[in-house]
Structure 1
Amino acid sequence: MLKKRRKAGLLAFIIILSFLEGCGTEEEPEQEYPKSLKIGISVYDQYDTFMAEVLYQLQSYVREKEKEWGIPVTLDIQDAGQDQLQQNKQMEDFIEEGCDLVCINMVDRTDASSVIEKAKSNDIPVIFYNRELVKEDLQRWEKLYYVGADALQSGELQGQILVEQCKKDFSSIDKNGDGVLQYIMLEGEAGHNDSMIRSMSVIKEITDSGYVVEKLADEIANWNRDQAANKMASFIEDYGDRIEVVLANNDDMALGAVDALKDSGIIPGTKSWPMILGIDGTDVGRKAVEKGEFLGTVLNDARGQARGMIELAWSIVSDTPLDSETELQEGKYIRLPYQKVTGENLSEIQKRERQMALP
């Protein structure tokens, strides 16, 4: 009788153990990924040279990721033409078209309410890029993000390029020998975050390094090459050889200064040619560095921004973690570092980018 009880108990234990083992080895259900991805892209102005490069890199990077993910990815790219009302309408169109996610390069970074409310009421995540929102606006909903760079760093690095040249050969900049750097400032937009911070931080970097500056003039040129050329032509008339440095908030405006100087008969590399510095490191800006028209520029990573936007978009819609190369700060921000570009490191930067572009 005792043996029968022991056998029965042993059999019950084996049955329970088998059941528990079966539960432990049951396969987890496979992650279900989207079968396709549609992203609405709105750019404040498609004719902005840097933004054109970002759009090119977006399309290029998406082609790479389609192969990796094995799904079709559609980018619906729209130009807002510097019109905030038009951009608000584009957000409505993206919703009607069934976009899974929207990326917005705001026309007016202080007027994002309409876009945010439309996104929130239709549960469509938004990645704002390159033109940073007011921080309080980005906190209004958990599915709002920003991909871009730190404007403060760009101004600091622009200033460092000039300071390094001052240390090497101050007399090459201080043409009149008065120990003061006379400069012209070409600014992006009135009230624009990046424009204000770049203008402030570049001067702070120069003066904190011990150099004395004198502002001859500054003008808003709206990031535009032609507008900058017109402003610079007036500066040349007013100040002539007194202009020792031209600080521009972006490469296009710096190139406008180059155009005006050439039109006035001033030749790059001569004593009358001022030190010109841009920001963005666009292809045309880097060519200006190569030709000696710019002292330098500051690389704004167009491919890095495009990569960050697409990787973040995939993470959001597929509910998967970001790849190890991408850091999401405060659950909201992806920030790409800037880099100085001068005649000394230009070939190294171009070589690295060619390697990155290889399939």
Structure 2
Amino acid sequence: MNRKMLGGLALTLGVAMVLGGCSSQRKNGKTNQKVLRIGVSSYDQYDTFVSELISCFQNYAKEKEKEWEITISLDIRYAQRSQMVQNSQMDDFIDDQVDIACINLVDRTDASGIIEKARKSQTPVIFFNRELVEEDLDRWDELYYVGADAYESGRLQGKILVEECRKNFNKIDKNKDGVLQYVMLEGEAGHNDSLARSMAVIEEITESGYMVEKLADEIANWNRDQAATKMQTFLDTYGEEIEVILANNDDMALGAVDVLTEAGLKPGDTDWPVILGIDGTSVGLEVVKKGEFLGTVLNDGEGQAYAMLELAYALVTENELPEKYQLKDGKYIRLPYREITAEDL
């Protein structure tokens, strides 16, 4: 039912009959949904992983229109890394009477504006990919999260390196000091995924018995160009000392590849360091195949897109979720990560 016309059942039905403004009718407590209106806001249009996820979401919506025998209307917007812009987009979604909003937060610590707007208008929200603070998710019953466990991705990134060290440690340890000298390219300051991935990867390596030395780490905001700028500084400062490059996502790892390639290095050269990404984007998988990355960690964007649409449909129509997408604690759908190396490809 249109969530903005709750002044009374008779008035709501009257407006729906005259204006056709409602996207559904309720019969015996269920929703006979004809149109599913979804507003989607992403923090940034240049994030490769999120862009691929949204593309999957669009494709899946086209498939499900036939199966569910409804029209799925998507209003997809990009917030240009501004929480104020995203808050304004939420206002637009509410004015446009969407049934549900899917929000990829700009600032995970500043979800209050979105939440208050959602609660006041009775518009459910599925947050995705960029996990908000747990206490914020508990502020209203109709707030949900679809994503993955960022800590797990860091552990798996470390596991790929550990497995390679067990086979080729002498090759990786170029200066033969028994220590892995590394640089790290991090996502955003204070971002949950950045913090968890950066901590977990080092924990996995050291708990597996290998010693590490951090030469440098820098924030590159998930961005390939920013990462290239940081990597150039790393290379100018440390040069051949760099044995391992750890990046919080594939785009930043690709920035490192750009700089190394520009410097005339090639995979297989003794000076080419081990490079690891996270996300398993299409371009990230290509460089794994070419040998420029040792590996990446697949973040199941396709699965998250499917889960997000299934959850949206179930919430609006009051149908059951498919078993594989059951909510944890009534709030969370988390999909597992997977290690990807050239052998897996």
Taking structure 1 as the reference length, what is the TM-score of the superposition? 0.88
Q: What is the match of residue 190 of structure 1?
A: 189
Give the superposition deviation at 1:54: 0.6
Matches within 5 A, 1:240-255: 240-255=239-254
Corresponding residue SS for 2:197? helix
CA distance in 1, matches of 2:268, 2:254: 15
Amino acid at match of 2:112: S
Q: What is the match of residue 47 of structure 2?
A: 48
Q: What is the match of residue 203 of structure 2?
A: 204
Amino acid at match of 2:286: K
Q: Which runs of 5+ in 1 are unaligned?
A: 1-27, 347-359
Give the superposition deviation at 1:30: 9.5
Amino acid at match of 1:67: K
Give the superposition deviation at 1:88: 0.3
Q: What is the match of residue 91 of structure 1?
A: 90
Q: What is the match of residue 39 of structure 1?
A: 38
Give the superposition deviation at 1:227: 0.6
Q: What is the match of residue 104 of structure 1?
A: 103
Corresponding residue SS for 2:325? coil
- Residue 151 of structure 2 contacts residue 200 of structure 2 at CA under 8 Å; is this kept in 1? yes
CA distance in 1, matches of 2:32, 2:38: 16
Q: What is the match of residue 236 of structure 2?
A: 237
- Residue 31 of structure 2 contacts residue 318 of structure 2 at CA under 8 Å; is this kept in 1? no
Deviation sequence 1:275-300 (CA, Å, 0-9, x none): 00000000000001000000000000
Corresponding residue SS for 1:76? strand
CA distance in 1, matches of 2:222, 2:237: 22
CA distance in 1, matches of 2:224, 2:31: 48
Corresponding residue SS for 2:130? coil
CA distance in 2, matches of 1:30, 1:314: 15
Q: What is the match of residue 343 of structure 1?
A: 342
Q: What is the match of residue 165 of structure 1?
A: 164
Amino acid at match of 1:207: T
Q: What is the match of residue 314 of structure 1?
A: 313
CA distance in 2, matches of 1:31, 1:60: 27
Q: What is the match of residue 14 of structure 2?
A: none
Amino acid at match of 1:342: T
Give the superposition deviation at 1:269: 1.2
CA distance in 1, matches of 2:285, 2:81: 26
- Residue 158 of structure 2 contacts residue 201 of structure 2 at CA under 8 Å; is this kept in 1? yes
Give the superposition deviation at 1:223: 0.4
Q: Which runs of 5+ in 2 are unaligned?
A: 1-26
Amino acid at match of 2:182: Y
- CA RMSD, aligned part only? 1.1
CA distance in 1, matches of 2:230, 2:193: 20
CA distance in 2, matches of 1:205, 1:180: 15
Q: What is the match of residue 144 of structure 1?
A: 143
CA distance in 2, matches of 1:66, 1:169: 51
Matches within 5 A, 1:51-70: 51-70=50-69
- Residue 223 of structure 2 contacts residue 252 of structure 2 at CA under 8 Å; is this kept in 1? yes
CA distance in 2, matches of 1:337, 1:324: 15
Amino acid at match of 2:254: L
Amino acid at match of 1:83: S
Amino acid at match of 1:332: K
Give the superposition deviation at 1:29: 5.9
Amino acid at match of 1:80: A
Corresponding residue SS for 2:33? coil
Give the superposition deviation at 1:264: 1.1
Give the superposition deviation at 1:165: 0.1
Taking structure 2 as the reference length, what is the TM-score of the superposition? 0.91
Give the superposition deviation at 1:40: 0.1
Give the superposition deviation at 1:33: 2.0
CA distance in 1, matches of 2:30, 2:139: 30
Paired residues, what number?
319
Corresponding residue SS for 2:260? helix
Amino acid at match of 2:175: N
Amino acid at match of 1:183: Y
Matches within 5 A, 1:185-334: 185-334=184-333
Amino acid at match of 2:158: G
Q: What is the match of residue 24 of structure 1?
A: none
The structure having more radius of gyration, on CA atoms, is: 1
Give the superposition deviation at 1:265: 1.3
CA distance in 2, matches of 1:168, 1:228: 29
- Identity level (%): 63
Corresponding residue SS for 1:33? strand
Corresponding residue SS for 1:157? helix
